[in-house]
Amino acid sequence: MIEKKGSILSVREDIKVFDCTIRDGGLVNNYHFTDEFIKAHYETCVAAGVDYMEIGKNNSPTIMSEDEFGAWNFCKEEDIRKIVGENNTDMKIAVMSDIGRTVPSELLPKSESVVDMIRIATYIHQLPAAIELIEEAHAKGYETTVNIMAISKSFDDELNEVLEQLAKTNVDIIYIADSFGSFYPEQINKLTEKYLSYAEKTGKKIGIHAHNNLQLAYANTIEAMMYGASFLDVTISGLGRGAGNCPLELLIGFLKNPKYKLMPVLKFIEEYIVPLEKELDWGYSIPYMLTGQLNEHPRAAMKARDEGDTKYREFYRNLLAE
């Protein structure tokens, strides 16, 4: 975003555009992307000026089946290097570690990996294991983030305690994760201020990862940015679990930073996303709207979409009865 300071236009240097297309989009097809798709996406992100690309998850094949999930659920070093080589670009590579699905000892030292950042996804009750992994990744030389999931179900005192503990760790960025796509901009405003009140004391940054159940992922991302979040998660065409995410092409248009280029993103959409839309289902729909309004996990909506169920009133009654 360009800010006006007096008569001089300047860019907010702290803002980082963080592409999650493969990682969040992989939740739609169990990470069965072709190498061609991943390579084209990587080259698109580089050409577009994206700051970080999350190439998938580094879950352990000792915990999750390699028969059921594609390579980008595991992000083995040799698979990543097939795509990015030594990644001699300005863009950094990230992977996500799910607490309970990752084995910390399998994490290579940064000196042996082309990956720059480990993103840790955790529920509040898993916090001790998340902190252990944060410190493990930090000690091995990686940048780190932590996404606290399902915070819309937590109480203020509980979340305050979590943020206080995380502020004392070596994590670099703490993420506001709108897991159920249920937050409105005024709530994001307050959450951003809350997160910053803990993070800034120990020099940490704040990020925002929004879902689009209420068609507010873009608005909520901008809201968080306006109030101080600097790491902004996006996906191309909003490709992501369920209702999807804030679209990269929308955010680039808003930021008006000459560093970011829209044309490579449009090319990728034409050549790869348009055909993919005939195979995979994601994005705003009535079932996702309803789970978002009720602050519920979208699993029921995902099932309804998979089954082509358009009996929306019955779906709504069932949600209310649960």
- The 3-state secondary structure of the chain, one letter per residue: CEEEECCEEEECCCCEEEECHHHHHHHHHCCCCCHHHHHHHHHHHHHHCCCEEEEEECCCCCCCCCCCCCHHHCCCHHHHHHHHCCCCCCCEEEEEEECCCCCHHHCCCHHHCCCCEEEEEECHHHHHHHHHHHHHHHHCCCEEEEEECCHHHCCHHHHHHHHHHHHCCCCCEEEEEECCCCCCHHHHHHHHHHHHHHHHHHCCEEEEEEECCCCCHHHHHHHHHHCCCCEEEEEHHHCCCCCCECEHHHHHHHHCCCCCCCHHHHHHHHHHHHHHCCCCCCCCCHHHHHHHHCCCCCHHHHHHHHCCCCCHHHHHHHHHHC
User: Cα–Cα distance between 281 and 252 in angstroms, integer?
Assistant: 24
pLDDT given at position 139: 98
Residue type, position 95, single letter: V
What are the residue ranges spanned by the domains of the chain?
2-276, 286-321
Look at residue 4 and tell me whether its pLDDT is greater than 50.
no
Q: What confidence category does residue 2 fall into, taking pLDDT thresholds of 50, 70 and 90?
A: very low
Q: What confidence category does residue 8 fall into, taking pLDDT thresholds of 50, 70 and 90?
A: very low
pLDDT given at position 7: 35
The model carries a pTM of 0.94
Q: What confidence category does residue 322 fall into, taking pLDDT thresholds of 50, 70 and 90?
A: confident
The domain at 2-276 falls in which architecture? Alpha-Beta Barrel (3.20)
